Amino acid sequence: MKDQLALIREKALNEIKQVASTNEIEAIKVKYLGKKGELTSILRGMGGLSKEERPVIGKLANEVRENLETLIEDRLSSIREIENKLKIEKETIDISMPGRKSIVGKRHPLDLTLESMKEIFISMGFSIEEGPEVELDYYNFEALNIPKNHPARSEQDTFYINDNVVLRTQTSPVQIRVMENQKPPIKMISPGKVYRSDAADATHSPIFYQMEGLVIDKGITFADLKGTLELFARKMFGDKIETKFRPHHFPFTEPSAEMDATCFVCNGEGCKVCKGSGWIELLGCGMVHPQVLRNCGIDPEVYSGFAFGFGVDRMVMLKYGIDDIRLLYESDMRFLNQF
């Protein structure tokens, strides 16, 4: 048994010297000193020794165990020191190397344009009102003088949740809600997202932004409408811009019009942006239809008002000369870094 203990000690010593990782040294510890280790197996056989041999072998076995434990701990400590040193060297930062430039975000052109539009109308005394994007059919259509089976409904491909609930196709429902809950005078704008079932292409998107405005008071005329929108156009695009109004039709306004402005790319001389006409369509507008006022509990014999609506995406495209609406939603940094 003395020879066996000496052999175990010699084998373990050679293996300990050769290991190079903490996992390997732990494996050696289990191999020789574990519950099923070689040294433990030898000690279990001491029951067959004589009374004289037992204390001698026991002392020798304990010396071997203590010796192996010391060697294993020393080697484990040495390996850990080497591993930590390598880890530190690997993680060392070379302060002489140039740093990586952080990417700083910029405001989206949609946000920039929308804020400019809001500031202009706020300076003219308008308040900002908001409403739900998931809207009742009544507010999105019927209260706006667009009953069921009205031709205008086919012009606005609508996302229906059920027969009575839709994703709003315009921000006009906010105007209805405000007129129902506020007494005139009313002077408000309603910016926000709207939804239409359009296939995405250069000029269409199923999600886009609108800003609509409403003024209700006694004695409001079309002259007030023209003056307000002409002032907006000058503040938005500069004092040299000119505007004109063309007759149009909207179910919720009467009379109705569309407003054009001189092309701010070519200053009215004609270019590809304005298709050579020198004019660009900006918005739709008109005097609030008397029936719409009645629907909201406002007497059209006492009060009158005007409404208007912009496509904010279109304003962005016109302002910055962008020819594809999809660029506004693709999060392409090559495009966004230009702003």
pLDDT digits (tens, 9 = 90+) for 22-76: 788 788 777 777 777 776 676 666 666 666 676 777 777 777 777 777 887 888 7
Rounded Cα gap, residues 235 and 268, in angstroms: 18
**Strand runs (DSSP E) across the chain, as ranges?**
127-128, 134-136, 160-162, 165-167, 186-195, 207-217, 243-250, 253-262, 279-288, 304-311
Instruction: Tell me the backbone φ, ψ of residue 39, rounded to 5 degrees.
Output: -65, -40
Of 219 and 152, more confident: 219
pLDDT computed for residue 220 by the predictor: 96
Asked if 318 and 301 touch (Cβ cutoff 8 Å), the reply is no
Looking at this protein, which amino acid is placed at residue 55?
P
pLDDT computed for residue 218 by the predictor: 96
236-246 pLDDT tens trace: 888 888 899 99
pLDDT computed for residue 122 by the predictor: 96
Query: What does the block give as tokens for 227?
Result: 């003056």
CA distances from residue 250 to 86, 216, 232, 293, 307 in whole angstroms, order as listed: 76, 18, 22, 15, 11
Task: Give the end-to-end CA distance of the chain in Å, rounded to a whole number.
Answer: 86
Rounded Cα gap, residues 99 and 113, in angstroms: 35
250-290 pLDDT tens trace: 999 999 999 998 876 677 788 776 778 888 888 999 999 99
Q: Is pLDDT at 89 greater than 70 in this prediction?
A: yes
Whole-model pTM: value is 0.67
Percent of the chain with pLDDT over 70: 91
Of 196 and 74, more confident: 196
pLDDT computed for residue 270 by the predictor: 81
Asked if 140 and 166 touch (Cβ cutoff 8 Å), the reply is yes
pLDDT computed for residue 283 by the predictor: 92
Query: What does the block give as tokens for 169?
Result: 């196709």
Mean pLDDT of 206-226: 95
Looking at this protein, which amino acid is placed at residue 194?
V
pLDDT computed for residue 123 by the predictor: 95
Q: Is pLDDT at 210 greater than 70 in this prediction?
A: yes
- Spatial strand order of the sheet with 165-167 comes to 134-136, 165-167, 160-162
Nearest Cα neighbor of 213 from 158, 180, 253 is 253
Mean pLDDT of 143-167: 83
Instruction: Tell me the backbone φ, ψ of residue 258, rounded to 5 degrees.
Output: -120, 140
Q: How confident is the model at residue 155 (pLDDT cuts 50, 70, 90)?
A: low
